[in-house]
Amino acid sequence: MPENTTSDEATLVAAAEKLTQCDGYVVLAVDPQTGEVDAHGPFDGLTATLKADQLRRDFDRGGLEDVTVGVVRLHSKT
């Protein structure tokens, strides 16, 4: 095994941490029937998760089980 494995692992961890840094979260709802995409937010992580869960339940109750709901990171311009 190469001697710099620990250094390489540290570099990968640092890069992964940088990728997860964001300015907030947005909840996306995608309707495959119409192609519409709705964005809700920005939110902090917990609030985005709760909003996504609420939307999922609302869509399910409305018979729209095929609508996809997800949480994505928001990156503001610097």
Domain annotation covers residue 51: yes
What whole-number distance in Å separates Cα of residue 61 and Cα of residue 57? 6
What is the pTM for the complete model shown? Answer: 0.73
Q: What number is the average pLDDT over the span 30-48?
A: 96
Domain annotation covers residue 4: no
Q: What phi, psi does 43 have (nearest 5°)?
A: -135, 165
Domain annotation covers residue 14: no
What whole-number distance in Å separates Cα of residue 77 and Cα of residue 54? 29
Find the helix or strand (DSSP H, E) in which 69 lies: strand 68-74
Range of the structural domain that residue 70 is part of: 22-74
Residue 63, Ramachandran bin (φ over 0: left; ψ between -120 and 50: alpha; else beta) = left
Q: What number is the average pLDDT over the span 7-16?
A: 76
Round the average pLDDT of the chain to a whole number and report it: 88
pLDDT in tens, 45-74: 999 999 999 999 999 999 999 999 999 999
Domain annotation covers residue 59: yes
Using the predicted structure, report yes or no on whether residue 1 has a pLDDT greater than 60.
no
How many structural domains is the chain composed of? 1
Largest CA distance in the chain: 58
